[in-house]
Amino acid sequence: MLSIQSHVSLKPYNTFGIDVDARYWVEINHENDLQTLLSISEFLNTPKLILGGGSNVLLCHDFDGLVVKMNIQGIEVVREDDQHVYLTVGAGVTWHDLVVYCVSNGYAGMENLSLIPGTVGAAPMQNIGAYGVELEQVFESLTAIHTQTREKRTFSHADCQFGYRESVFKHELKGQYIITSVTFQLDKQPVFHTRYGAIQETLTEMGVSDEQLSIKAISDAVIRIRRSKLPDPAQIGNAGSFFKNPEIPAEQFDALKDTYPAMPGYPLDGNVVKIPAGWLIEQAGWKGYRAGDAGVHTKQALVLVNYGYASGNELIALARKIQASVQEKFGVTINPEVNII
């Protein structure tokens, strides 16, 4: 049975720990609950904010609408063939719990995405990724319900229009659908991705040889790297990487490389190079910066942090200063990965 509450603090439900008020609040544990909610005429035209783990949002003001916390659970093997296993997973399942499940069962493809905060339902919206792997590489389809018509629809890989931290749900269909489950295609025979970041170096430190390489070893290495660089939201408010890594023309990168020989870059298709935003921010002098309770993490400049009582607007003001500084120094635009509400 649905329990719609009024004036609920969202502080426990966002990893920045921003204390703002939700006019209405409801938790969804089953798809039928969502259908029921969307049939209530009182809330038909009410603005809605869909929350998973609250790990990729920055709340800047009270939300004068309905916050829908998606808690739909379940991991089910729906089919398999000689090469693949297909899992359908509830939108409320914690992402890392899913990765642990896959690794423990020998299902390959998600190991590089270990310890990313958030829930399964939010993952396709953002096309999450880390250490050379993007969600779209293991994505098969998803189901979602239209907020107005209550029509249930299956979205294929092509329907989602994935891009770098992008999908159709952040653009043309923004706010129109609520994701209830996602189906993933995992490999029975792993293809290891160890070249990105410090994975190979960490594996060596762990004493893992090429002959011992496994999806669990890669997962363990990624977990070790993330824990060494990224603050725990339970200890200090943050949303992980705040900015996307910018992609610039190779010619522009070559010119910058002449001036800044240490600048790292990762060539992509189409004569484009991806630059780590954290490197740009650190070189612009922001690493460890703090103004009141809003700051930049001391170990990873890509992470903005709330030391206690920073407001969303204070963090946004800091983010804009960083953007302007990087633009002035390098002529490169960095854009937020975090959704600003």
> Residue-wise pLDDT tens for the chain (341 aa)?
789 999 999 999 999 999 999 999 999 999 999 999 999 999 988 999 999 989 889 999 999 999 999 999 999 999 999 999 999 999 999 999 999 999 999 999 999 999 999 999 999 999 999 998 999 999 999 999 999 999 999 999 999 999 988 999 999 999 999 999 999 999 999 999 998 778 999 999 999 988 899 999 999 999 999 998 888 888 999 998 999 999 999 999 999 999 999 999 989 888 999 999 999 999 999 999 999 999 999 999 999 999 999 999 999 999 999 999 999 999 999 999 999 99
Predicted pLDDT at 210? 86
- Phi, psi (degrees; rounded to nearest 5) at 211: -70, -25
Report residue 287 as tokens.
């690493």
Predicted pLDDT at 270? 84
Predicted pLDDT at 195? 83
Predicted pLDDT at 230? 87
Quickly count: other Cβ atoms within 10 Å of residue 97's Cβ: 14
Q: Is 241 a catalytic residue?
A: yes
**Among the options 55, 241, 311, 314, which is catalytic?**
241
**Among the options 55, 167, 181, 337, which is catalytic?**
337
Q: Rounded to an integer, what distance in angstroms lies between the CA atom of residue 188 and that of residue 247?
A: 33
Nearest in space to 233 (alpha carbons), one of 94, 93, 74: 94
> Alpha carbon 86 to chain centroid distance?
22
Q: Is 165 a catalytic residue?
A: yes
Predicted pLDDT at 211? 87
Q: What share of the chain is helix, strand, coil (3-state, %, to 5)?
A: 30, 30, 40
Predicted pLDDT at 60? 95
The DSSP call for residue 246 is P
List of domains in the chain: 5-70 (3.30.43.10), 75-187 (3.30.465.10), 237-340 (3.90.78.10)
Stated pTM of the model: 0.88
Nearest in space to 67 (alpha carbons), one of 96, 91, 37: 37
**Among the options 165, 219, 224, 314, which is catalytic?**
165
Helix (H) / strand (E) element for 90: namely strand 84-90
